[in-house]
Structure 1
Amino acid sequence: MTTSVEVIKPGDVRTRAQIRTVFGGSPQGGICPSESRSSVNLYSDPDVGEQVGYYDGWLAEEDELGAVFEYTGAGKSGDQTFEGRFGTGNRAVLQHAEDARVLRVFTRVGKVPGSDTKTHRYLGSFTLDSLEPYVWRRVHGEDGQERNVIVFRLRADGDVQHAEQDVIPAAEKTEGEFVPFQAVTAAMFQSDPATSGSLPLPRQRVRKGSSPRKPAPNAETSGTFVVPEAFATRLSFRAATAATVAIRREAELTQAYKAHLDAGGHRTGAYQIKVKGLTSTLRVDLYDATAHVLYEAKGSNSREDVRMALGQVLDYSRYVEMPEHDGEPKRAILLPAAPPPDMYSLLDQYDVGVVYRTDDGRFVGDAALNSHH
């Protein structure tokens, strides 16, 4: 390890004191904003994270924009939040773009020989994913209790180190785990100041010298019944692209129909799934635990969205298991308006129902199941 701290490049190992000289931030804590250096430094400690039920790291599964690095928010027990003193660090990450700060990720690698001073490897600079900046996930807290955590989705913003040891371990098996419903509170969502700015589009990067990663052992995979989140309903973007508008509509539609089901006495939530061999976590829009119905919502009623929703609900429903219900759940898609007429016959072939919202705000459709009317 060199003593020069004038420049820290991806892959370099430094102590926190050396890192602070270059990028600022506090001497302790996982999320360390620095106004003077226009940086939000994110420290990950694999040993600590694994003890409280989560992994920070690269997803092995890449999408059309490339790789995603998942970083779990601040708070070791209880539901994480964007509000108040405990949400300060999480707000700093969420609004890094509007604050003109760069996200910089470091992972702990060891200690300076002969001392207790920890060393950290610099992975590089990142920005939040523009369409899905974070997701909520259900994990075990430090106190052993179930809790909701914020998992930020980061995209490379320049050259980064994409090392094999930083890839999240793949799940060894798939199995279901039911978690009782928890009431949604305001603390589980962003505060207005944290969501009023713009989020940048990630730069597409080609990873050089990469090789397929052999799936590593992981804790047993589980499907978890959790509360759906409305992260996109109040996000504003610099460019109101069709994709961002659809995401916001989808979140609003899901929340509205969830409220409709709840008003009928139904127990509703989302469904979280880990699948054998995958590092990513799947999440279903809405699950009605009372009627055993799985919904996939879309922000438009286009043919393309109907086809996508059909594929997703058929895929996800295979993994939904609830002790009080036999077999797979009924399947339905949730749309903001009626789909093209001929799509009904396609959905009928796969025994998938449709619920859509009318112009006057009512929900109609054969998947409403008449059980909550």
Structure 2
Amino acid sequence: MTTSVEGISPGDVRTRTEIRAVFGGSPQGGICPSAAMRSVNLYSDPDVGEQAGYYDGWLAEEDELGSVFEYTGAGKSGDQTFEGVAGSGNRAILRHAEQDRVLRVFTRVGKLPGTDTKTHRYLGAFTLDGGQPYVWRRVHGEDRNERDVLVFRLRPEGAVQRATQDAIPPAEETTAEFVPFQVVTAAMFQTDPATSGALPLPKQHARKGSSSRKAAPNIETSGTFVLPEAFSTKLSLRAAAAATIAVRHEALLTQAYKAHLDAAGHRTGAFQIKVKGLTSTLRTDLYDATDHVLYEAKGSSSREDVRMALGQILDYSRYVKSAEHEGEPTRVILLPGAPSPDMYALLDRYDVGVVYRSDDGRFVGDVVARVGE
């Protein structure tokens, strides 16, 4: 192990004292912000994570923007949060770009010989994924109690070390678990709003022939969802405005329809799916457990969004099973408005229904639950 602390490069192993001399941060804890060094140091311990029911590491499956490193937020027991003191570290990750700080990831590798001083390997600098900065995930903690944790999706910023031992292990079997629906709103924060336009795309080019990814949900004090400024610069102003509206509509539409189902006395949630041999975790938009209906929501009723929703719901529905209902769920696409007749014909071919919101705010469709009956 090199002892110089003048600089730390990906792959270098250092003690926390040596890391603090270069990147700042606190002497303990997993998420360690440093205003002076403009850094948020993220420490991952594979042994601790496994006991707590999660893995930090690289996803084997890359998307059109490249690789993703998943890092689980702070909070060892109970549901994780962005609120108050308990959520301060998670807020530091969410706001890192807004506060002009770099995310730096370290993983524990051992101890200095003959001491209890832990050593950590530096993986490199990262930024939050501009399209999907984090997801909620249901895990079984070391006390075997279920809880919701925040899983941040990190993109490399420059050179990083991607070692085999840092990969998330593939699922040993295919599982689909019914989990609570998680809502992201401004009410999650006690004081300041979350970042309102500072989640950048990684500084890398999309692969040739790929399309732009869906915009990130960010929270303003009003609870609406806005498009990151850095993402907007990569689109035309017209496309950026359309993407902003689509993201806001998708989030608010899903929440509104869930509220409608709840008012009708239905039990709602989502499904968390792991596929054998894959490292990524899928999560459906909305599931009505009372009527065994799976919903895939989109922020617009365009041909592109309808076709994307069709592919997703055909994929997800294969894994959704219920002890109270036989067979696969009824498949329904949730839209902010009626699609074109041609899209209805396409969806009918695959036995996929549509629920949409009419101009007067009512939900229209064959499977719409009726409140008060």
TM-score, with structure 1 as normaliser: 0.88
Determine the structure 1 residue equivalent to 2:212.
Answer: none
What residue identity is the alignment partner of 1:136?
W
Determine the structure 2 residue equivalent to 1:138.
Answer: 138
Cα separation, partners in 2 of 1:169 and 1:332, compared to 1, 3 Å: same
- Equivalent pair of 1:66/1:205 in contact (CA under 8 Å): no
- Equivalent pair of 1:81/1:187 in contact (CA under 8 Å): no
Determine the structure 2 residue equivalent to 1:30.
Answer: 30
Deviation at 1:4, TM superposition (A): 0.5
What residue identity is the alignment partner of 1:49?
G
What residue identity is the alignment partner of 2:46?
P
- Equivalent pair of 2:176/2:319 in contact (CA under 8 Å): yes
Paired-residue identity, %: 74
Segments of structure 1 that go 5 or more residues without pairing to the other structure are 208-229
Deviation at 1:241, TM superposition (A): 5.3
What residue identity is the alignment partner of 2:326?
D
Cα separation, partners in 2 of 1:183 and 1:197, compared to 1, 3 Å: closer
Segments of structure 2 that go 5 or more residues without pairing to the other structure are 208-216, 233-239
1:334-349 aligned within 5 A? 334-349=334-349
Deviation at 1:262, TM superposition (A): 0.7
Deviation at 1:264, TM superposition (A): 0.6
- Equivalent pair of 1:79/1:188 in contact (CA under 8 Å): no
Determine the structure 2 residue equivalent to 1:291.
Answer: 291
Number of corresponding residues: 350
Deviation at 1:251, TM superposition (A): 1.0
Deviation at 1:324, TM superposition (A): 1.3
Determine the structure 1 residue equivalent to 2:121.
Answer: 121
State the SS of the aligned residue for 2:193: helix
Determine the structure 1 residue equivalent to 2:248.
Answer: 248
What residue identity is the alignment partner of 2:345?
S
Determine the structure 2 residue equivalent to 1:74.
Answer: 74
Determine the structure 2 residue equivalent to 1:214.
Answer: none
What residue identity is the alignment partner of 2:328?
E
For 2:54 and 2:243, locate their aligned partners in 1 and report how far apart those are by CA, in whole Å.
29
Cα separation, partners in 2 of 1:85 and 1:186, compared to 1, 3 Å: farther
Deviations 1:83-139 (A, max 9, x none): 001000000000001111000000011111111111100000000011211000000
Deviation at 1:361, TM superposition (A): 1.0
Deviation at 1:185, TM superposition (A): 9.6
Cα separation, partners in 2 of 1:117 and 1:107, compared to 1, 3 Å: same
Determine the structure 2 residue equivalent to 1:100.
Answer: 100
| Alpha-carbon RMSD | 2.2
For 1:182 and 1:158, locate their aligned partners in 2 and report how far apart those are by CA, in whole Å.
35
Cα separation, partners in 2 of 1:344 and 1:183, compared to 1, 3 Å: closer
TM-score, with structure 2 as normaliser: 0.88
Determine the structure 1 residue equivalent to 2:268.
Answer: 268
- Equivalent pair of 2:102/2:126 in contact (CA under 8 Å): yes
For 2:134 and 2:187, locate their aligned partners in 1 and report how far apart those are by CA, in whole Å.
12
State the SS of the aligned residue for 1:65: coil
Deviation at 1:199, TM superposition (A): 1.0
Cα separation, partners in 2 of 1:296 and 1:206, compared to 1, 3 Å: closer
For 1:95 and 1:359, locate their aligned partners in 2 and report how far apart those are by CA, in whole Å.
36
**Are 2:360 and 1:360 equivalent residues in the alignment?**
yes
- Equivalent pair of 2:286/2:295 in contact (CA under 8 Å): yes
For 2:197 and 2:274, locate their aligned partners in 1 and report how far apart those are by CA, in whole Å.
32
What residue identity is the alignment partner of 2:59?
L
Deviation at 1:294, TM superposition (A): 0.1
For 1:337 and 1:185, locate their aligned partners in 2 and report how far apart those are by CA, in whole Å.
23
- Equivalent pair of 1:105/1:125 in contact (CA under 8 Å): yes
Cα separation, partners in 2 of 1:346 and 1:369, compared to 1, 3 Å: farther
- Equivalent pair of 1:261/1:372 in contact (CA under 8 Å): no
